[in-house]
Structure 1
Amino acid sequence: MADQPTLQALLRRRDLDLRLVSQPAALRDGALEKPLRWVHSSDLADPTPFLSDDLALLTTGTQFDAASDIGAYVARLADRGVLGLGFGTEVHRSGIPDALVEACALHGIPLFEVPYRTPFIAIARAHSEAIAARAYARRSWALDAQRGLALAALRPRGLDAIITELSRRLGVWAGMFDAAGALAHSPARDAVDRRLLDALGERVTEVLARGLEAGQSLTIDDRTFLLSTIGRGGHLRGVLALEIDALDSEARAVVTSVIAMSGLALEQSEQLARSRRRLHSQLLRSLLTDDPSIARRVLGALPVAPIVVAVSGDAPATALVDWWERQRTEHGVASFLAESDDGVTMCVAADDDALIDELAARFGIRIGVSAPDSYAAFSRSHAQALTALRQRGTMGAARFADAVGSSILSALATDEARLVAESRLAPLRAHDTDTGSGLEHSLRVWLEHDARAEQAATALGVHRHTLRSRIAQAGTLLDIDLSSFPARAELWALLETARD
């Protein structure tokens, strides 16, 4: 890529015959190498209101007389961001005033002599030509880069080839993160250490979770990265990361073309993935007949039994596929995934059961997990996973073994059952709300003490006759004869099933 025009480049032009007067030690670091935006000439005593940042100023010194404060003049130029001062000699005076040399040295502004035979317009034209040449070089670079990227897209593993070519053309580290937030490809993976990659992955995961097309800058340990999403809003397929502070218009055009090509490649891949998902959904139906033979013939292999079956109803299917694919390529973990009306079903060897916990934590989802079993009991394992999934609880992996350890009422506590229980208890709860009588609490304590009034009354701190009166009143409100065991069992089920 062509360098930005600088003051140093102007000073090196032999045809201009410019001479640097300032001593290098008196200049600010990199003063001669900063990008020079323009060259302007003025003999005003204070030209700063008419100057822009990052330019070189040319003057013949007609504004200086015996009363001039040259030090203040140079100070104003320094504050305005002037990168260099050229003094045209032999126009109005011979040589350069010593006060000007000293003031420029004090403020670190490069001072150079413009000989009489070099007109100011020649310097401005030379710099303008350098700007135009750089612009042409950058446009040529962008066209050549896009041709190279187009050829890379035709190679095997075209997406990886595109990222490698982009990294080479820009001369920076580049990486493609998949829909699961993991680094899928980088031509120089070792150029970024694991801790920094993990931090990048966390930010990428946040960007993908929002599901919106976006571009943002991220600084980690003084290293700046640009993140650009791949795919359309609501259906992001990954994130392109570049270790670069900023992009000029030509580089942005190249990166934009890479994003477009990557999106197209991933969309084509998504079409294949959709066909694959339909196939796996059909194979899931086959496995649910407890016969794995068809799935083995189609896929070639399945996870080794004993297996566990897991189901998640709110999982991002594409991200889960990418995550399990990475487990396969990096760690040799075999898995089977399929989508159905129940959600995403996953099957892994029982020895890999711990990965399900890691998956649930990474995506913040709830997953029901069966007990280990054989393929001959796949349908039962699938039903166990659904049962575990439907148990009330926080996000994470919920195992059927834990559900079995709870009561049968917990297993039967569906939304429909809770609605029925809340409706049956409504008269009782309304009475408690209006009177503050606490009948529901008294009933619960009474049943917890096996319907023994003496012990329950003691626990409540009331007389046994008071408790019996409350039970009778509750029975009337609920239209239940609480003297029989079936009625008491039904009441206990209502209390356990209804939400508090």
Structure 2
Amino acid sequence: MAPALRRITAIVPLHLEVLAGWNGLDRPVRWVAVSELEDPTPFLEGGELVLTTGMRLSAGDAEPYVSRLVARGVAGLGFGVGLSHDAVPPAFAEAAEAAGLPLVEVPRDTPFIAIGKAVSDLLAGEQYEEISRAFAAQGRLTRAALQREGPVAVVDRLAREIGGWALLLDPAGALRHAAGTTGRRAAGLHAGTDDKRGVAGDWARETARSLEPEIARLRSAPSLSSLALSTPDEHVVVQPLGRRGFFAVGSPRPFSPIAYTIVNAAGSLLTLALEQGREQRSAAAQVRSAVLRLLLAGEVRAAAETLAALGMRLPEEPVTVLACDTPDPEALTEALTGAAPGAVPGALTGAVPGPRGAFAGVGTFTAPWEGLLVVLAPDAGADELVALAAQHGRVGVSAPGVEIARSEGRVDGRMEGREPPAAGAAGSVTRNASRPDLDTGLDRGYEHDLDRAVDQARRALVSASPVARFSELAGRGLLSLLDPAAAASFAAAILAPLREYGSRADLVESLRAYLASNGHWDAAAQRLGVHRHTLRYRMKRVSELLGRDLDDPAVRAELWIAVCL
């Protein structure tokens, strides 16, 4: 930051005396300009201390001269005496006082170059101090990045360094973590924590949503390294973090070059911290998948022992199973479990100690599974977890009340104390011979509650809804499970030959009546108001145009869906 004029006038060897404009002495002086022109403003940028001996100036020039300097935004006027003028003309002091421009008398014994050197030294000292502060800030950010929850610690530290707020966002722009001071309100904005989900938390989420256009611009234009936004009350910088997400910082003051340096350093550290954890997160995901495989095989004791060796545990029973179709399983895992971005130990089970995540206390278990993220959510917090998961993609939900422990005791295809059912009998198991490791209960019987629940959650994803509960599918009707756009395209394609047929007969309406009457000619003909032989002819034409056998139940089912859309 440039030195204030008050600091320059206080330098004793310069012997400067302030004659007017005392209220403006806190203005920063960015340079010293010496000029004897009647109008030096074309050669000024603003923020200068202008020095003159008044060689070409008279008392009548005072007001227009001072007005031009004020309009240009100079920091102050230094009037040298003892050469052209024995003293500063009173008209200049009056004009400066009226305009609020600091006016300083420079004695004959003080060379203008001495003032220039003094200001230059102060500027160099200020720059050195700013650079030192920047290096110190980078050191503090680096130490924060080395902590267990590196990215979160960096965001917290960055908010303090800039005296504002900072947000960490996932690749979709959703809020992962926030910290800092927002306007006149100070808050530890730990996104999602139970004790911080009031006004401040709402503000952080709303701020993240307001930045969606900027996130979209950065995503669509990879050449953009950052975006800066400014309003009278706030200044914001948004930067990408490679493929791992984005971060945004805001301050009530404009960002100085040093502040930009600190922000850029934080961005580099965040990118590095998030990228370095990729292999560890991948290994953690493999461990969770292995644990889920054990659970689905009925080996609950082995799964629990595996987690116990890592200092983790299974979620409390009973649970509800979620099957989540999301483009970013890692971000969803962090959101569901409260794990810090990039943190590995807590990511193994999602049971993170402390109040960092809103659902850390419920012991949620997540595991990647055949392109989905399977979640075992304790029933007590299942509804909240379902709502949160829906923000990241589609969610299939099993029936509640699943007892994981009931899977225990299965040995070589049988439960303790029970004989396995005969081959082909109801409830018997049909294994996938080609992929036994991926067998999860689809198209077969069930060995235990968890096996059935995973199957239910996955089957619920057939619905086009963001959230589909298996227990509600039967009452919703088949058509409600179809994606509207895909179903409309299917109907248009399958019925196109009938709509393009040149006859005046409405073959689509005739087909609808025929199918609605379950193929009964008389009932369908009566509904249409035509003779049954006419309807027979139309259905023959329909069969020929479509190339399908209308007596085939599967064909009738497809056509019925098409005509109902």
Q: Pick one of 421, 426, 449 that aligns with 1:377.
A: 449
- CA distance in 1 between partners of 2:458 and 2:176 (Å): 32
Letter in 1 for 2:378: A
Superposition CA RMSD, Å: 3.7
Q: Which residue of 2 aligns with 1:50?
A: 43
Q: Secondary structure at the match of 2:314?
A: coil
Q: Which residue of 1 aligns with 2:471?
A: 401
- CA distance in 2 between partners of 1:220 and 1:54 (Å): 22
> Is residue 2:168 matched to residue 1:177?
yes
Q: Which residue of 2 aligns with 1:444?
A: 512
Q: Secondary structure at the match of 1:368?
A: strand
After superposing the two structures, state which structure 1 stretch, 200-209 or 446-455, moved more: 200-209
Letter in 2 for 1:362: Q
Letter in 1 for 2:39: D
Q: Which residue of 1 aligns with 2:8?
A: 10
Q: Is the 8 A contact 1:178 1:322 kept in 2?
A: no
1:47 CA drift (Å): 1.5
Q: Pick one of 353, 358, 365 that aligns with 1:336.
A: 365
| 1:114-173 deviations in Å (ceiling 9; x for gaps) | 1111111111111111111112222233333334444455555555554555455x3614
Letter in 1 for 2:70: A
- CA distance in 1 between partners of 2:58 and 2:215 (Å): 66
1:246 CA drift (Å): 3.8
Q: Is the 8 A contact 2:285 2:368 kept in 1?
A: yes
Q: Is the 8 A contact 1:310 1:369 kept in 2?
A: yes
Q: 1:105 to 1:85 in 2, by over 3 A?
A: same
Q: Is the 8 A contact 2:46 2:72 kept in 1?
A: yes
Q: Which residue of 2 aligns with 1:235?
A: 244
1:109 CA drift (Å): 1.5
> Is residue 2:116 matched to residue 1:124?
yes
- CA distance in 2 between partners of 1:60 and 1:409 (Å): 90
Q: 1:95 to 1:463 in 2, by over 3 A?
A: farther
- CA distance in 2 between partners of 1:177 and 1:9 (Å): 40
Q: Pick one of 95, 101, 113 that aligns with 1:103.
A: 95
> Is residue 2:396 matched to residue 1:368?
yes
After superposing the two structures, state which structure 1 stretch, 117-126 or 213-222, moved more: 213-222
Q: Which residue of 2 aligns with 1:81?
A: 73
- CA distance in 2 between partners of 1:111 and 1:42 (Å): 15
Q: Is the 8 A contact 2:178 2:204 kept in 1?
A: no
Q: Which residue of 1 aligns with 2:193?
A: none
- CA distance in 2 between partners of 1:397 and 1:86 (Å): 73
Q: Is the 8 A contact 1:175 1:183 kept in 2?
A: no
- CA distance in 1 between partners of 2:331 and 2:231 (Å): 25
| Structure 2, gaps ≥5 residues long | 190-199, 340-350, 352-356, 405-447
- CA distance in 1 between partners of 2:71 and 2:166 (Å): 41
Q: Pick one of 456, 460, 477 that aligns with 1:388.
A: 460
Q: Is the 8 A contact 1:335 1:347 kept in 2?
A: yes
Q: Which residue of 1 aligns with 2:52?
A: 59
Matches of residues 138-287 of structure 1 in structure 2 within 5 Å? 138-154=130-146, 157-159=149-151, 161-163=153-155, 165-168=157-160, 170=161, 172-175=163-166, 177=168, 179=170, 181-182=174-175, 184=177, 186=179, 190=187, 193-203=200-210, 215-217=226-228, 222-229=233-240, 231-232=241-242, 234-236=243-245, 239=247, 241-243=249-251, 245-287=253-295
Letter in 1 for 2:35: S
Q: Secondary structure at the match of 1:440?
A: helix
Q: Pick one of 343, 346, 367 that aligns with 2:375.
A: 346
More helix by percentage: 1
Q: Is the 8 A contact 1:308 1:348 kept in 2?
A: yes
| Residue-pair matches, total | 477
Q: TM-score, normalised by structure 2?
A: 0.73
After superposing the two structures, state which structure 1 stretch, 120-129 or 430-439, moved more: 430-439
Q: Secondary structure at the match of 1:441?
A: helix
1:324 CA drift (Å): 1.2
- CA distance in 2 between partners of 1:22 and 1:441 (Å): 93
Q: Is the 8 A contact 1:181 1:204 kept in 2?
A: no
| 1:189-211 deviations in Å (ceiling 9; x for gaps) | 72663343232343467767775
1:280 CA drift (Å): 1.2
> Is residue 2:556 matched to residue 1:492?
yes
| 1:447-480 deviations in Å (ceiling 9; x for gaps) | 2234455654565465666445433433454567
- CA distance in 2 between partners of 1:62 and 1:221 (Å): 42
Q: Pick one of 515, 528, 541 that aligns with 1:473.
A: 541
Q: Is the 8 A contact 1:288 1:379 kept in 2?
A: yes
Letter in 2 for 1:405: G
Q: Is the 8 A contact 1:409 1:496 kept in 2?
A: no
1:409 CA drift (Å): 8.7
Q: 1:138 to 1:292 in 2, by over 3 A?
A: same
Q: TM-score, normalised by structure 1?
A: 0.82
Q: 1:166 to 1:432 in 2, by over 3 A?
A: closer
1:40 CA drift (Å): 0.8
- CA distance in 1 between partners of 2:291 and 2:166 (Å): 35
Q: Secondary structure at the match of 1:315?
A: coil
Q: 1:70 to 1:480 in 2, by over 3 A?
A: closer
Q: Is the 8 A contact 2:235 2:255 kept in 1?
A: no
Q: 1:92 to 1:158 in 2, by over 3 A?
A: same
1:57 CA drift (Å): 1.0
- CA distance in 2 between partners of 1:143 and 1:389 (Å): 52
Letter in 2 for 1:378: L
After superposing the two structures, state which structure 1 stretch, 321-330 or 276-285, moved more: 321-330
1:15 CA drift (Å): 1.2
After superposing the two structures, state which structure 1 stretch, 45-54 or 430-439, moved more: 430-439
Percent identity of the aligned residues? 29
Q: Is the 8 A contact 2:169 2:208 kept in 1?
A: no
| Structure 1, gaps ≥5 residues long | none
Q: Which residue of 1 aligns with 2:29?
A: 36
Letter in 1 for 2:470: F
Q: Secondary structure at the match of 1:72?
A: helix
Matches of residues 302-341 of structure 1 in structure 2 within 5 Å? 302-326=314-338, 329-331=357-359, 332-341=361-370
1:312 CA drift (Å): 2.5
- CA distance in 2 between partners of 1:32 and 1:245 (Å): 21
Q: Secondary structure at the match of 2:327?
A: coil
Q: Is the 8 A contact 2:3 2:29 kept in 1?
A: yes
Q: 1:126 to 1:289 in 2, by over 3 A?
A: same
1:378 CA drift (Å): 2.2
> Is residue 2:297 matched to residue 1:289?
yes
1:23 CA drift (Å): 4.7
- CA distance in 2 between partners of 1:450 and 1:352 (Å): 47
- CA distance in 2 between partners of 1:40 and 1:481 (Å): 95
- CA distance in 1 between partners of 2:100 and 2:248 (Å): 41
Q: Which residue of 1 aligns with 2:432?
A: none
Q: Which residue of 2 aligns with 1:20?
A: 18
1:78 CA drift (Å): 1.7
- CA distance in 1 between partners of 2:337 and 2:89 (Å): 74
1:178 CA drift (Å): 5.6
